[in-house]
Amino acid sequence: MRARASPASAGFTLVETLVALAVTAMLATSGTMLMLQTLQGSEAVDARMASARELIATNGLMRADFSLVTKRASRAADGFSSPLGFTGAAPRGDGELIRFVRAGWSDPAGPGDRSDLQLVSYRLENGALVRTAWLRPDPVADTPSVERVMADGIADLDIRYRKAGKWEAAWPGTVDGTHPDYVEIILSFSDEDKLTLAYSVGASQ
């Protein structure tokens, strides 16, 4: 004759059920946390990749700008300052940092009488490095211009200029357009990252 199971062994006890539920809850919580961390990590990687792509594009445009610097003097768009060539300031807060005339620009609308020279200016504004390009070398108030933020989140910026092996903190513009051989720009960001950009000036001439 088969023995009848006692009530104590017929199923799970309340304690065993509670333990099983607790373990299941812990596993579910751990899985959720792991998934959230994976998503956050993926978002951080995507943000870093987007930032890297922006910096690559910025570096390419700045390298083209500086390699195509000419000795042509130009006056600022206000129409009052004297014509000067490459001008580089020592950073002192917001304001214009570098101004020069570059070659190599082509009219996207097609062939025409427009010059292939542009006036280009870089300035620091509210933690952003901003590039402005006017569509001719001697702009007036209504000359079309294009602005582009090259980098933002800048906590500090330093520039130096080299000529014949000697570094200078600033580069006063001259009528004959003498320019440095080399420009170094150091960007310190608010997240404590630092980026050094170095360019030969007028190397294509």
Q: pLDDT tens track of the chain, all 205 residues? A: 455 555 555 566 877 777 778 888 888 787 788 877 777 766 665 665 666 677 788 899 999 999 999 999 998 766 667 889 999 999 988 999 999 999 987 655 555 556 689 999 999 999 999 999 998 898 888 889 999 999 988 999 999 999 999 999 999 999 999 999 999 999 998 878 898 999 999 854 4
Query: Residue ranges per domain, the chain?
Result: 12-205
| Burial of residue 201 (number of CB atoms within 10 Å: 0-12, 13-18, 19+) | buried
| Burial of residue 161 (number of CB atoms within 10 Å: 0-12, 13-18, 19+) | buried
To 5 degrees, how large is the angle CA 127–CA 96–CA 149? Answer: 45
d(CA 186, CA 176): 28
CATH architecture of the domain with residue range 12-205: Roll (3.10)
Question: What kind and span of H or E run contains 15?
Answer: helix 14-67
